[in-house]
Amino acid sequence: MDAIRKQATKLREQVAKQQQAVLKQFAGGVYGGSDNVVTDGAELQQHQKLEKLYISTRAGKHFQRDIVRGVEGYIVTGSKQIEICTKLSEDSKKYGVENNCTSGNTLSKAALSYGRARAQMEKERGNLLKALGTQVAEPLRAMVVGAPLEDARHLAQRYDRMRQEAEAQAIEVSKRQVKVRESTGNGDNALKLEAAEVKLQELKSNTAILGKEAAAAMAAVEAQQQRLTLQRLIAMVESERTYHQRIIQILDQLEGEMVSERQRIEASPSPAVDNTMPPPPSYEEVNGVYASQTYDGSSDSMDYFLGEVMHSYQAESDVELNLSVGDYIVVRKVSNNGWAEGECKGKAGWFPFGYVERRERVLASKMAEVF
């Protein structure tokens, strides 16, 4: 009889271990796990729910951390770009102020306009970076390291430890039950079994209560994570959209200014040569003038000066000069009949004086083109 009882006890222990192994495989603890599982259906369901919440909140935490790292990296890169582009805007404005020797100051105006527009764009970029830092990175970082998440995780870990304790107590009760059956009439074993069962029921009750609290806390954290993350993503999208819309406005305005200036220049009519204006001197007269650097008394003599061609002119005789917009001429004589004599690119001749504008300063590179 004793041999049969021992064999039956071994079989029950083997069956219990197999059940525990199966339950552990399908409901093993993610946030700590345990070697033994209490085979209570409600408790097992609670345990699985907590596992899912733990996985979800952990993924939410990692996602929030990735967003924070990405935003912080974008802010660092953007700050460096602001420094570079701010220097570009300052250089553009400096060029526009200090270089006024181009055709009608067109390039200077364009440089000033670009410099001002670039400064506005960098200001908008700074506002974007500030918004991303205060409205996105900081709230998410606070959530990642905040107390609600840590408190909920601690509750879940306490639940897991208590659950393991209950599992160990369930095994102890099972052993006590075997001893009571094997030693019928032993009152001491019966009392120990009763005490073990009371402790087991207390542990199971406390485990169920703590499991509900942990699940409620984790569910609240999960909802807060999802809500906050969505809000911050929307705030990030709105900040970037506002930034790009403002940049479009600045660029549209800049393009409008430059296109308007170009159209004004292109639409500006070339001064027509007065039909009543006498033709320039003959070749022989020109040679004489070049030799003596004087002209007849009917001409208004002037000191040499530099002129910039504002309108192109096609020479109609050998004594005239071909003019291209942007060329510089050393004007040596201006006649009172509307013609001027000078030298450009190694050639000398006459040209309508109304086609050039006097310049006080010329870039060194342009001076080399005159001679």
Residue-wise pLDDT tens digits, 171-221: 988 888 888 887 776 778 888 888 888 888 998 888 888 988 999 999 999
Q: What residue spans in the chain does CATH classification 2.30.30.40 cover?
A: 305-358
Helix (H, G, I), strand (E, B) or coil at 309: strand
Q: Rounded to 5 degrees, what angle do the CA atoms 127, 133, 134 make? A: 90
Q: What residue spans in the chain does CATH classification 1.20.1270.60 cover?
A: 39-267
Residue 361's pLDDT is 63
Nearest CA to 96 among 357, 88, 309, 326?
Answer: 88
Q: Rounded to 5 degrees, what angle do the CA atoms 116, 118, 120 make? A: 70
Helix (H, G, I), strand (E, B) or coil at 178: helix
Structure tokens at 149: 């998440």
Which backbone phi and psi does 121 adopt, to 5 degrees?
-65, -40
pTM: 0.60
Give the whole-angstrom CA distance, residue 33 versus residue 3. Answer: 37
Q: Produce one character per residue of 112-133: b if its CB has 16 or more CB atoms within 10 Å, e if not.
A: bbbbbbbbbbbebbeebbebbe
pLDDT in tens, 214-237: 999 999 999 999 999 999 999 999
Residue 25's pLDDT is 44
Architecture of domain 39-267: Up-down Bundle (1.20)
Which backbone phi and psi does 99 adopt, to 5 degrees?
-120, 95
Residue 8's pLDDT is 62
**Torsion over CA of 107, 109, 113 and 114, rounded to 10 degrees?**
20
226, containing H or E segment: helix 187-267
Give the whole-angstrom CA distance, residue 41 versus residue 49. Answer: 12
Question: Which CATH fold topology does 305-358 show?
Answer: SH3 type barrels. (2.30.30)
Please list, in sequence order, all residues whose beta carbon lies within 8 angstroms of the beta carbon of residue 326, skipping any fewer than 6 positions away.
103, 308, 309
Helix (H, G, I), strand (E, B) or coil at 102: coil
Residue 33's pLDDT is 45
Structure tokens at 93: 């404005």
Give the whole-angstrom CA distance, residue 371 versus residue 368. Answer: 6
Reduced to 3 DSSP states, what percent helix, strand and coil does the chain have, rounded to the nearest 5?
70, 10, 20
Residues of the chain with pLDDT under 70: 1-6, 8-40, 100-104, 185, 268-302, 361-371
- β-strand partners of 339: 352
Residue 282's pLDDT is 58
Residue 243's pLDDT is 96
Phi-psi region of 322 (alpha: psi -120 to 50; beta: other; left: phi over 0): beta
